[in-house]
Amino acid sequence: MSFAEKFSPEVTRNAVERAQRATEDDVRSAIASGAPDLVTAAALLSPAASTIIEELGWTAHRLTVERFGKTIALYAPLYLSNDCVCTCTYCGFSMGLDIKRRTLRIDEVMREARALTGHGFRNILLVSSEHPKYVNEGYLAQCVSEVKRATSYVALEVAAAETAEYGAYVDAGCDGIVLYQETYDPHVYAQHHLGGPKKKYAWRMGALERAARAGVRHLGAGALLGLADWRFEGLALLQHARYLQKHAWRSQLNVSFPRINPAASGFRPQHPVSDAALVQLVCALRIALPTAGIVLSTRETATLRDRLVKLGITHMSAGSSTEPGGYSEPGSAGEQFHLEDTRTPEQVARRLIELGYDPVFKDWENVAPHTVPAPIATRVAGI
């Protein structure tokens, strides 16, 4: 059974409702047990949990250090295109918005990639809006295989695809697929995804399963906070994550839950999420998912990012630009959303060292067959 068939928004909403009455002791037993079921997991997201947030914080910190040590993996997004056929209320690339549009040529992509590797990045996330004509399978596979020559880890955050397309990306060297559901509430989803292929809620929900079937080694699931109640989104994301860990057991899972930032669309979230709520989500998801990576983008402020490091974050972007061509030619195209942490990668890395964490730029080796030397004996024999 796919996650889209298994997931029940009603059951999830009811669990969130019931957890309004959870006590501090309920939360403590959820912490101790790792919250294996929906009821205990909802307790971690409850108002009662926010009253003992320090206990959640220390548990989350301990679990993170045990599993990941005192390290933070650094990555950078590389925007390929902002040409888009989808109408999404919150997005700066939404079709119909009057922004400068651009899809990078391969040589422009490589210029961006070199700008990033020059800062030390070896983990590059290729991001694109949805445009079947400009940003198709062939273009994306070519971007992956070319960028892979410059770095050791390449992931894609692009339109949801069929299993066969994911297979083509894997063959091109793609190490990860990042795809956020945005909101797990189907009604809210319909209110915000008004046109284009992204309208299909269930199709999107199955994308990471399809990617795993195609052999993608790293999966990134997530929710865009601000569209629906954050407790509901957190509990839904947790269920999705656990489903993927069981069914896509060969793939490493990361989760992320960015808050909506101002974009050209002028969108204002109906369910704004406070810093306290974000902290509670980080802690709750760490306790319930001790082996998943938690990714934090530069949408958050430098001050908050520094504090979240100790609570469960394992991956951070740094020095990001959200416009195509933004590293080598800033201002040449519209940005997807506005960034808060504008420090350079070097400044972020230095700050992590001050905080007692090792900034890790490289944590993956490229083992595509054509990149690896033949065994020594074979080469001597000249075969």
Which of 367, 380, 381, 383 is the binder for another protein (CB under 8 A)? 367
Contact yes or no for 205/239 (Cβ under 8 A): no
- Read off the amino acid at residue 252: Q
User: Does residue 36 interact with another protein by CB under 8 A?
Assistant: no
Shortest gap between Cβ of 97 and another protein (angstroms)?
A: 39
Q: How many CA atoms lie within 13 A of 280 on its CB side?
A: 24
Contact segment (CB under 8 A) with another protein among 39-47, 157-165, 193-201, 360-368 equals: 360-368
Nearer to another protein, 23 or 291 (CB): 291
Helical segments of 69-162, H only: 106-118, 137-148
347 contributes a contact to another protein by CB under 8 A: no
- Provide the minimum distance between the beta carbon of 336 and another protein in the complex, in angstroms, as a whole number: 29
**Using rule CB under 8 A, residue 67 touches another protein:** yes
252 binds another protein (CB under 8 A): yes
Nearest by Cα to 177 from 108, 232, 229, 248: 248
Asked if 346 interacts with another protein (CB under 8 A), we say no
* Distance, first Cα to last Cα, the chain: 49
Using CB under 8 A, which residues numbered 120 to 149 contact another protein? 120, 122
Alpha-carbon distance 312 to 52, whole Å? 17
* 383 near another protein, judged by CB under 8 A: no
Catalogue the long-range contacts made by 11-14 (C-beta closer than 8 Å, 24 or more residues apart). 11/38, 12/38, 12/184, 12/232, 12/235, 12/236, 12/239, 13/232
Q: Does 356 bind another protein (CB under 8 A)?
A: yes
Interface mask toward another protein for 296-335; x: CB under 8 A: ----------------------------------------
Interface with another protein (CB under 8 A), residue from 6, 70, 187, 350: 70
In angstroms, the CA 199 to CA 205 distance is: 11
Q: How far is the CB of 57 from another protein (least distance, A)?
A: 17
Angle, vertex CA 298, rays to CA 294 and CA 303, nearest 5: 90
Residue from 39, 65, 110, 304 that binds another protein (CB under 8 A)? 65
The total of other beta-carbon atoms located within 10 Å of residue 347's CB is: 14
The footprint of another protein (CB under 8 A) covers 65-71, 117, 120, 122, 152, 217, 245, 249-253, 291, 353, 356-358, 360-365, 367, 369, 372-377
